[in-house]
Amino acid sequence: MMEKTSSKIRDIYTSLGLRDVDYEAITKILKKEPSLTELAMFSVEWSEHCGYSRSRSFLKLLPKTGKYRALIGEDSGGIIVGDTAVVFKMESHNHPSQVEPKQGAATGVGGIIRDIFTAGARPIASLNSLRFGPLSEPYNRYLLRGVVDGIQFYGNCLGVPTVGGEIYFDESYSGNCLVNAMSIGICNKRDLARARAYGVGNSIVYVGSSTGRDGIGGCSVLASQEFGESDEKRPSVQIGDPFTEKCLIEATLEALKTGHVVGIKDMGAAGLTCSTSEMAFAGDSGVEIELGLVPRREEGMKPWEVMMSESQERMLVCVKKGKEREVLDIFLKWDLNAVVIGKVIKDKMVVVTDGGDVVANIPPKALASAPVFDMPSKEPSYLNEIRRLDLASVPEADDYDDHLLKLLDSPSIASKRWVYEQYDHMVQTNTLVLPGSDAAVLRLKGTRKGIAATTDCNSRYCFLDPYKGAQIAVAEAARNLVCSGAEPAAVTDCLNFGNPEKEDRYWFFANCVKGIADACRYFKIPVVSGNVSFYNESPKGAIYPTPTIGMIGVVGDTKKVCTQHFKGDKDAIILLGRNSEELGGSEYLKVIHGKVKGNAPDIDLGLERSVQRTTLESIKRGLVHSAHDCSEGGLAVALAECSIGNMVGAVVDKLESDIRSDALLFGETQSRVLISCPKRDVKRIKKIAKKNRTPFRVIGTCSGKRLRIYGRGRILIDLSLKDMRKVWSCSLENKLSNGR
């Protein structure tokens, strides 16, 4: 007997985020009025967070092949390096973190890590990309503290090092912070697992924590709508338990070794609904489960609540018939729930019973294939005025020392030491390059190879020109890997945008995806996994479009790893690439002149590739002592960052003189890398640059305890490393303490 539905059915499905057109489509699919449980299941699987209804038409543009063999799984992706599979993914937990920052961030970390080990890979590292409003606002300071606390709490307890990431601050994120979590794992390529259920009679096994009401409606309501003025969303935020997850990692990897596991999937967003329907659909089969067998920690839960719950640290496993006991015993040994709750069936249906009564009977394809909508898009007219920037209206200064110090004090540029010192980045002893350089580098034990990882995106560029800004995000991520001695190999993305039902927001999204696709295709880098997060806006407005790029690179020889800090007194300082007279979209223009104006910097992908090739070849040949890309804050900030890391100063006295001084110092022209090397190796690097047609210029020498930059025949900057380091290293802590 089907579960009865309420007479106020419209109120119910609209409260679940479904529209009239969705309800009509559901009744057509089912050929009847849906039950409450069926409505709930469609609401979560058809939500934007799970179904990607408004983004799938553009996501298909992203390339899936590259130099390394790409892995495209159901929940994560990766590459093959020799016999090793490197599995990685990035995902958002923005809305939960805005409501409850510690648990929102913690469960974001836990969820993305589950996507890694359910693929058969042992998690070896985490990264994150975080965005907040100005720290002058108390709630933004609360969010930053809470998010960092959640990341360190979950990662440190779990024993997975947090090795890198980025943090930006901008008014557009007040009211809607961004928390993008990335995880990396490795395994032998023979041990990879898939999220599939097939083989009639095979068992469906529930493992992990018990089910509660936490997280109900999280993906359909919290992650698929804008924040209102007085939203009370706290019940939708999940609660994480890293100690249970640690047991789950070990039990899962042990169970996979038995060879009895057909498929496995995390119960993340949409919980049991997602895992049952998507495993069945991926396996071209059907499943039947009995909710009365599901372990619960709360009394009186309705069937729809059990199917929607997003309680953490739970997974669904398809086990070969007759081998259940061996798999169950492994999870029970680790003090975890392990219960057979159903089986694979011949009919391609997801059948859910409760005490023997059928409460849902839905084709898995209908759930897992949400309808695709073609959204209208239109470039916002206000960009025309914002992009107009007359450099003549920007006053030049006589002394740029103060301007450099103010940029080093900007929280988007300043040291993130306060953050990463709370993370355990050395656990598992794989970390070769610690947080604070261009990219994290991890060894692949038992080999000479390593992997480098970074997250990158300048959202201000994407606001000014989404296509160009997204290309820059890809290029900068690749540049950061190259500066560490790694060859860029593959991308995971986390696409954060406003309400896609608004034409200008969707225009930003569409053009950012096109930019990522074209740049990745040009560099022959596949996009192997990712996430779309829409509805990131509040009554204050939409966030800046933020297509965060997580990129992995392969280090051929870990003895040739490079970092950004100057190492040797008297080393030559070389600029690869060329300076241009542009200030549009720069941190300098925002911090010093209070303007977000002009266009994003130009990006020439051919020049970018040339600079990267010269940098990487020079590092591989052992000619380079340091390498650092020029990004936010421009050349002067890059030189300061190179200097204060090891307190090795520089005299830069060979810059061109035909560019106005502020643009030369602080313009954010792309495709530039600063390298330092022994003077004896300058000619060898110049020869490599010439072969690759890379602009090459010796601009100065490592020397002393000051940074001196000359231009137009005079000293433009003359600061002690001690003074710069004091400002740069203390900025974030000072602003968290007093908001200034």
Catalytically active residues are 49, 93
Sign of dihedral through CA atoms 673, 674, 676, 680?
positive
Dmax over CA atoms of the chain, in Å, equals 88
Residue 634 region by backbone torsions, left for phi larger than 0, else alpha for psi between -120 and 50, else beta: left
* Residue with token string 């084709």: 363
Q: Which of 155, 133, 272 is nearest to 206 (CA)?
A: 272
What is the spatial distance between Cα 60 and Cα 201, in angstroms, rounded to a whole number?
A: 35
Sign of dihedral through CA atoms 27, 30, 532, 522?
negative
What is the spatial distance between Cα 712 and Cα 660, in angstroms, rounded to a whole number?
A: 9
Strand partners, 673: 576, 629
What is the spatial distance between Cα 424 and Cα 558, in angstroms, rounded to a whole number?
A: 21
Strand partners, 275: none
Contact 55, 509 (CB under 8 A): yes
SS (H, E, C) 610-623: HHHHHHHHHHHCCC
Q: Which of 131, 280, 252, 128 is nearest to 196 (CA)?
A: 280
**With DSSP H G I counted as helix, E B as strand and the rest as coil, what are the percentages for the chain, rounded to 5?**
40, 25, 35
189 CB-near residues (< 8 Å, 6+ apart): 80, 83, 84, 85
Contact 34, 42 (CB under 8 A): yes
What is the spatial distance between Cα 227 and Cα 396, in angstroms, rounded to a whole number?
A: 42
**For residue 267, which amino acid is it?**
M
63 CB-near residues (< 8 Å, 6+ apart): 517, 520, 521, 525, 526, 527
Instruction: Count Cα neighbours of 476 within 13 Å in the Cβ-side half-sphere.
Output: 27
Q: Which of 277, 213, 260, 210 is nearest to 51 (CA)?
A: 277
Other C-beta atoms closer than 10 Å to the C-beta of 299 total 5
Other C-beta atoms closer than 10 Å to the C-beta of 351 total 19
Q: Which of 646, 658, 707, 700 is nearest to 675 (CA)?
A: 700
Instruction: Count Cα neighbours of 703 within 13 Å in the Cβ-side half-sphere.
Output: 13
- What CA–CA distances, in Å, run from 543 to 38, 132, 148, 338? 34, 10, 20, 42
